[in-house]
Structure 1
Amino acid sequence: MIPDELGRSEADRVFRALGDATRRDILARTLVEGQSVTELARHYDMGFAAVQKHVAVLERAGLIVKCARGRERLVRADPEMIRRASRLLRAFDGK
């Protein structure tokens, strides 16, 4: 039996967000420390708007949160949502 760790639509959003290498990289970078979208955009060969769209997908999936630092908004991974998704994946392991 698969635990009801995430609802069906929530799980769909999480795994769809994780299906892109750039979004996985953004998530990894923001696990260590919060970064602005401008800081994140420096790491990719794409414009600010494209990075912002990736961030928006991660935010809708609940994998990242934004918090204020002065006038700046920082992007930070949500470790609890990552743990929840991880527990759901482990349920498919069958061990």
Structure 2
Amino acid sequence: MSSNDLEGLITVYRQRLKEAEQRLRQQTEENERERQKHAEDIEGERKRRMNAEQITQKTTLMEYLRLCHEHLFEPISIETNKTFLPKELL
């Protein structure tokens, strides 16, 4: 085998190595994107589950009393601009 043949083989193998490294990088990036998407999906599902639990959770006596207190002692505002009143009240 001549030195030109060896150089040609080395060039071919280097090219194949570069291509394999590129495929490996692309696969690694794709795997990372999939991992991130999966983590986001899990986090979204966890948030939806927590929201559903909060909606269906029974109100405790202390929560009920606190909410009553907040609403009973809110300042009342009266609209004085008659253009916002329904026609039935005019």
Judge same fold: TM > 0.5, yes or no. Answer: no
**Larger relative contact order (C-alpha < 8 A, sep ≥ 6)?**
1
Looking at secondary structure, tell me which structure has more helix per residue: 2
Looking at secondary structure, tell me which structure has more strand per residue: 1
Return the TM-score normalized by structure 1. 0.21
**Computing the radius of gyration over CA atoms, which structure comes out larger, 1 or 2?**
2
